[in-house]
Copies of this chain bind each other. A is one copy, B any other.
Amino acid sequence: MKLLTIPELAEELRKNDNYIMLTHRRPDGDTIGSAAALCGGLRALGKRAAVLENPQFTEKYRPFLDGLTTDCVPENAVLVSVDVASKGIVSFSGIDYVNQVSYVIDHHGLQRDFGELGFVDPSAAACGEIILDLLRQMKAPIDKKIAEALYCAISTDTGCFRYSNVTARTLRAAADCKEYGADIFAINQVMFMTKRLARLKLDAYLTETTQFFADGLVALSVIPETLKEELGITEDDIDDISGFGREIAGVEIAIMLRQVAEGGKISVRTSPNYDASAFCAAVGGGGHKAAAGATIRGGIEEAKKQILRTLEESGVKL
């Protein structure tokens, strides 16, 4: 993949037509908001553009995609991926097209295994920050709808400006969205200020059942397979559930075990003092330093033992 500057990418996009935007698997607010904003901006410049439907788009994000999606990729379409760090995580609907992607726009610093040309800026907290710069460079008019898609992207990828990735640029980009007319409060209410009662009941369950080790440094939570159905939990309700333990004051290593048919799915979230990916690598998984995962075959009790043993072997006194 050849890397371009923002002016070069803007020039490329102004030159072509007939765009299809690809999003990533288990789509979040950043891939959806970025795709929607870029699509809206290209249309505002008179281009044909659409976001490829993703079978995993959830209800929460549908308003940002309204009128922008398509089920088919026309011949000679120019494919643009947004927030897709590698071809293995493109939407299931995009798998057949991933090797034809012309432009990769992303903020992940991972290996690039697809795409002809790209703009990648790991200093951006959200891909949405890049799209905002790009739309301005293209002189695309930014209306309320585009501004709201951008705000969705930027706010959700930063936990409403709480995470360590937030920079002055992030906050200024959000300020610009507000000035372009985004109803940021309405978006905040849906994304950050309310939970469904079912999710609160899951939180209550986890509060009552989470086990603590090493004087509260380690939290180990288990979600039994049947609980999701019992409480009426949807994927939208728990897209951030792996972080539950880290929200408890004093916890630096949060382990979430989700019982699934084939065994246990482990998510580990750590403070900067620990390495989640090392713990998970030891049980056959992987990820980043602060967030990693693994799948363990066998029962949940066995999974518990394995992960706790791994912690002890790495020097954590349980």
Contacts and interface: CB of A to CB of B under 8 A. Distances in A.
Interface of A: 159-164, 166-172, 174-176, 178-179, 184-185, 188, 192-197, 200-201, 203-204, 207-208, 216, 246-251
A304 to B, nearest CB: 20
Contacts of A184: 166
A178 B167 contact: yes
A194 B161 contact: no
Nearest to A216: B197
Given A167-B178, A168-B179, A248-B200, A193 B162 contact: yes
**Looking at chain A's contact residues, is the secondary structure mostly helix, strand, loop, or mixed?**
helix
B162 A192 contact: yes
Contact of A171 (B174, B185, B250): B174
A193 B250 CA distance: 11
Contacts of A160: 160-162
B161 A168 contact: no
A141 to B, nearest CB: 18
A194 B162 contact: no
A223 to B, nearest CB: 15
Nearest to A162: B188
